[in-house]
Amino acid sequence: MSESDDEASGEDYLFKVVVIGDSAVGKSNLLSRYARNEFNPHSKATIGVEFQTQSLEIDGKEVKAQIWDTAGQERFRAVTSAYYRGAVGALLVYDISRRTTFDSIARWLDELNTHCDTTVARILVGNKCDLEHIRDVPVEEGKALAEAEGLFFMETSALDSTNVVQAFEMVIREIYRNVSRKALNSNSYKAQLSVNRVSLDREVDGSSNKQSSGCCSR
CA dist 109 and 13 (Å) reads 26
Instruction: Name the DSSP letter for residue 206.
Output: T
- The answer to whether the CB of 70 falls within 8 A of the CB of 19 is yes
Query: With 0-12 CB in 10 A as exposed, 13-18 as middle and 19+ as buried, what is 194?
Result: exposed
CA dist 120 and 138 (Å) reads 26
Please name each of the domains of the chain with its CATH number.
Answer: 2-183 (3.40.50.300)
Query: With 0-12 CB in 10 A as exposed, 13-18 as middle and 19+ as buried, what is 99?
Result: middle
pLDDT tens string 71-94: 656 665 656 778 888 999 999 999
pLDDT tens string 170-196: 999 999 998 887 776 666 545 544 554
